[in-house]
Homo-oligomer: A and B are copies of this chain.
Amino acid sequence: MRPSRRAPDELRAVSLERGVVKYAEGSCLVKFGDTHVLVTATLEERLPPWLKGQGRGWVTAEYGMLPRATLERTRREASAGKQNGRTVEIQRLIGRSLRTIVDLEALGERQITVDCDVLQADGGTRTASITGAWVALADCLNWMKARNMIKGQVLRDNVAAISCGIYNGTPVLDLDYAEDSEAETDANFVMTGDGRLVEVQGTAERTPFSQDEFLQLMALAQKGVARLVDLQKMAVG
């Protein structure tokens, strides 16, 4: 029995609310149960120096957590003077995931920065961030299309993410914090709308896991991401 009484393959209640920040070209407040992430997509007519003059654009992401998004207050990174290792890992993952489904040539020499700020954290902040980021990004691209800044299919596919883990010996989908802190194994899957893999990250928290266990997690993830992609399509549709 999961602490939340969910079935092993059951997602938390997911909502994707668009247009939540009035200035941003795209925005989404994504909720996976009690995990709430505010995502904005910002278009800028500039590029990182190493990318200039190559006829391609760039999509990057930054991630942050409000200090009291968590059970105990965590130190504000701006005041600590640096982003910690976990933050850096997550924002790199979000950026890579989004770039896989964007046609950077069709985007043109511009940068879209996706900011994912966690307002409340109950496990799965990186997967909620990626799932919501796709919505904010889609809205940003629609904003550009409405202004004739881009043509054709810049967004090649959906991308969404979900965590899975082995909790009390059972593979379960979409871990919340209570499960995550007890799980033997924890894996995050980033997948496209057509079910292919973009990123896979599996970690044995305490004991190594078998290939078979891993395949069970992957199967669960596929179901979960398919559902998330449906929700994304409904949100922007």
Asked if residues B22 and A34 are in contact (CB atoms below 8 Å), the reply is yes
CA separation between A34 and B92, bound complex, in Å?
A: 28
Asked if residues B42 and A68 are in contact (CB atoms below 8 Å), the reply is yes
Minimum C-beta distance from A68 to chain B (A): 4
- Of B34, B66, B113, B195, which one neighbours A40 at CB under 8 angstroms? B66
Q: Which residues in window 180-237 of A have CB below 8 A to B?
A: 187, 191-192, 194-204, 206-211, 214-215, 218, 222
Asked if residues B203 and A96 are in contact (CB atoms below 8 Å), the reply is yes
CA separation between A42 and B203, bound complex, in Å?
A: 25
Contacts of A195 in B (CB 8 A): 211
Main secondary structure of the interface of A (DSSP, over half): mixed
Asked if residues B87 and A89 are in contact (CB atoms below 8 Å), the reply is no
Q: Which residues in window 57-76 of A have CB below 8 A to B?
A: 62, 64, 66-71, 73, 76
Q: A78-B64, A88-B88 are in contact. Are A208 and B214 (CB under 8 A)?
A: no
Q: A21-B120, A89-B92, A117-B66 are in contact. Are A199 and B203 (CB under 8 A)?
A: yes
Minimum C-beta distance from A169 to chain B (A): 15
A170: CB under 8 A from chain B? Answer: no
A81: CB under 8 A from chain B? Answer: yes
20 further contact pairs, Cβ within 8 A, besides A64-B78, A67-B113, A81-B82: A21-B119, A22-B120, A23-B70, A23-B120, A38-B66, A40-B66, A62-B67, A76-B78, A77-B78, A85-B88, A192-B208, A195-B211, A196-B204, A196-B211, A197-B204, A198-B203, A199-B202, A201-B202, A211-B218, A214-B218
Task: Name 14 A/B residue pairs within 8 A (Cβ), A-sorted.
Answer: A23-B71, A24-B68, A44-B73, A64-B76, A66-B115, A76-B78, A79-B83, A187-B200, A192-B208, A194-B208, A197-B204, A197-B208, A198-B203, A199-B201
